[in-house]
Amino acid sequence: MSEVSRRAFVAGVGAMAMGGSVGAAQEGGRPNVLWIVSEDNNPFLGCYGNRLVRTPNLDGLAREGFLYERCFSQAPVCAPSRFTLITGVYATSCGPAHHMRAAGKIPGWMRGFGAYLREAGYYCTNNAKTDYNGPIKMKDAWDESSKNAHWRNRPKGRPFFAVFNHEVTHESCLFPQNRGKYRAVKEPVDPAKVELPKYHPDTAEFRRDWADYLDQMSRLDEQVGKLLKQLEEDGLAEDTIVFYYGDNGGILPRSKRFCYDSGLRVPLIVRFGKKCEQLAPGAKGGRVEGPVSFVDFAPTVLSLAGVEVPKYMEGHAFLGKGAEMQRYAFGFRGRMDERYDMVRTVRDKGYRYVRNYLPHLIYGQHVQYMFNMRSMKAWEKLNQAGKLVGAQRIFWGEKPAEELYDLERDPSEVENLAGRVEYGEKLEEMRRANEEQILRTRDNGFVPEGSELEGYESARDDRAYPLKRIMEVANVATEREAGNVQRLVGWMGDENECVRYWAVMGCVMLRAKAGGAKAGLIGRLADESGAVRVAAAEGLCWIGEVEKGLSALSALLVKAKNPWTRLQAANAMQELGAMARPALSAIEQAQSDPTDYVKRAIGYTAAVLKGEAVKEAE
């Protein structure tokens, strides 16, 4: 069939569940499960309608299985999303796992879901990414996790769960220094035929990067074909359920790291072997509307294997016993390498809602790794020269507090409908869905990084983390209304660190309009929280108290014991721009900081202040 509706999907699963064990289980076994993962790619495949790429193996997999039209990673970057994949829990529930390259604070009983499969008799292997953004016990989750891990190493007769990660599509493939690593494809994509999204300027750099990226899809397809051939050679294809998916969107500018379909939508194809096909949601070749997301993957595999899904998991199986499709897919953006941000997003079949909790920060913050790309540098240079038009300029400006997009009409997500009266009902629906998700999962995003309040268990203590009250302050802060200053000042004296932090951040967002908060901001320079002190110092600079603010900020930048406080200070210096020039001595001293992210952040600020950043972008 050409499409699997939600109703037919659920009905099919229900029939399977009532019939008991089916497929491979009828012959005394359990289905093997193979995950084939590619890094950093949207569904740019022939089976998803891309006419420029050559992906015969993946197209064949889709014909033999099911193609998911709307599958989403939880974060637009790998490590936070991989935390969700391995645990079945949102990274935002286990701060600071929602930040890039962090260590989520999880309770001792939370396990990588492979552990439950192993206890049920499965042989579990991972080849070979393990940056789970949390202290997952490798020996508990995997029989083997290495470049040599393979189902072929399992004891005879054991069912397997195997993961293979392919890096050929990773962001770094477009860095100039890596272009010689890949052999030519038979039919390279012609840059002139590439269709650019509305937000990308039409330049040679963008067309070349797009074409090269699409060529990587063909190289990936070859690798997938070899792995599928091994499965056939071993006589295991009929006993195996194959998942192919991308680990996050990307990689062209404004895709990876950003909460749009370009950063979150990934391909997902699931093929059921002949002996497992009754576990499928319908006839092969189907297209499932979704949405589904990574938080659902662990419960789904456990369900297909006949293993009970732990109650703490926050996802829902979309295949197997008890399967159910969800109305929304939720996503988030936290710290991306050295740059802080806080974005939450909700996606249904047709619309995307984006909530920006730090709207004063521009979309295109300078992330050193991201700016290795030729097209990224070209885009920045065009912006600096004032040569961008229309939607191409949005990336270099501050963000609205809310965004709403109709994906059918606006696949580039550049026409924000949040302020239109006719979309008010839809906006309210998705705003409510976002707030309910935050409360349900005890979202740690409102906790400044480095605080003792971060973590799964800490965030579930409402006395320590009064989330509803904190959200109220954050919502007022992001209104950026001068009339809210006295309310914000009142909250600055609260006993809770997060309330104080968002009250002060509200003044940072107001910038020069927060003059009435001067006394309150000065008082917060002695706050026990380093994050609050950083925000207060920055806020003072914006209202004209530059000497006082920079003095405090410089001390925090070079002397704070908490590396995240130093990073927050480095980011504040970057935001202040030329105003930070009197602190150049402290900025230069911080360039020898032992924390790489601090060095990256403050190094760029130093380059800007010295007039060297333009050279870096050449």
Catalytic residue annotation: 78
346, 289 in Cβ contact below 8 A?
A: no
Distance of CA 366 to the CA centre of its chain: 18
SS3 (DSSP) at 246: strand
Amino acid (one-letter) located at 375: S
Find where tokens 């070079």 sit: 558
Q: Are 35 and 163 in contact (CB under 8 A)?
A: yes
Between CA 527 and CA 512 the distance in angstroms is: 22
Report the alpha-carbon distance of residue 97 to residue 490 in Å, rounded: 31
What per-residue string of b and e applies to 47-78 under the rule 16 or more CB within 10 Å gives b? bbebebbbbebbbbbbebbbbbbbbbbbbbbb
Q: What is Dmax (Cα atoms) for the chain?
A: 77
For the chain, helix, strand, coil in percent to 5 are 45, 10, 40
Q: Quote the DSSP letter at residue 238.
A: G
Query: How far is it, in rounded angstroms, from Cα 201 to Cα 456?
Result: 42
Amino acid of residue 396: W
C-alpha span between 537 and 238 (Å, rounded) = 63
- Length of the chain equals 618
Please choose, from the candidates 382, 392, 372, 338, the residue with its C-alpha nearest in 3D space to the C-alpha of residue 616: 372
Helix H or strand E segment including 433: helix 424-441
Tell me: cis bond preceding 107? Omega within 30 of 0 counts.
Answer: no
State whether residue 503 is helix, strand or coil. Answer: helix
